[in-house]
Amino acid sequence: MTLEAILAYLHLLAILTMVVFISSEAALCRIEWLNAKAVERLAKVDLIYGIAALAVLATGLVRTFLGVKGSAWYWTNPLLHVKVTLFVIVGLISIFPTLTFRRWLRAQRRGGALPGAEEVRRTRRLVMVQAHLIALIPLFAVFLARGFGK
C-alpha cells in the first residue's frame, strides 16, 4: 500500500506541475505582453512543461504495472485508453507551440525580432486547446479509479 500511495503522489505531483506550466504558457503567450524576456521565459516554461508531461507518462505507466490493481485491470479498461488518447493528442498539439517558441527564441537572440500578432494568437490558441484537453483527462481518471468501464 505504501508503494501505491507513493506512486499516486508522484503521478499527481507530475500532473500538477504540467498544469502549472501549461497555464504559465497561456499567460505568457499574449501579444500585449510579449517582449524579449517573455520569449526567453516561454522557451524555459515549455521545456519544464515537456519534462512534466514525460513525468506524467512515466509515473502513469509505472502505476499501471506496479500498482495494486495490476496492469490487466488498467489496460483492459477503455477509460484508460481514452485518457491515453487524450494525452497523446495533447502531446501532438504541443509540438507546434514548442517549435514556435524555439524559433522565436532563435530569432530573438539573432536580431531581436518579435513574432507578429497573428502568429502569437495562433500559438496561444493551441496552448489553450492543450490546457482544456488536459482538464478533461481527470474526468476519465476518477471514473476509471472507481471501476467504471469494466
52 within domain boundaries: yes
121 within domain boundaries: yes
150 within domain boundaries: no
What is the pLDDT at residue 30? 96
User: Sign of dihedral through CA atoms 73, 75, 77, 81?
Assistant: positive
13 within domain boundaries: yes
134 within domain boundaries: yes
Contact 78, 149 (CB under 8 A): yes
Tens digits of residue pLDDT in 93-109: 999 999 999 999 999 99
What is the pLDDT at residue 149? 80
Give the total number of structural domains in the chain.
1
Q: What does the DSSP assignment read for 59-96?
A: HHHHHHHHSTT-HHHHHT-HHHHHHHHHHHHHHHHHHH
Contact 21, 94 (CB under 8 A): no
Contact 113, 33 (CB under 8 A): no
How far apart are alpha carbons 132 and 3 in whole angstroms? 31
Q: What is the mean pLDDT of residues 120-148?
A: 96
Tens digits of residue pLDDT in 52-97: 999 999 999 999 999 888 899 999 999 999 999 999 999 999 999 9
| Range of the structural domain that residue 122 is part of | 2-145
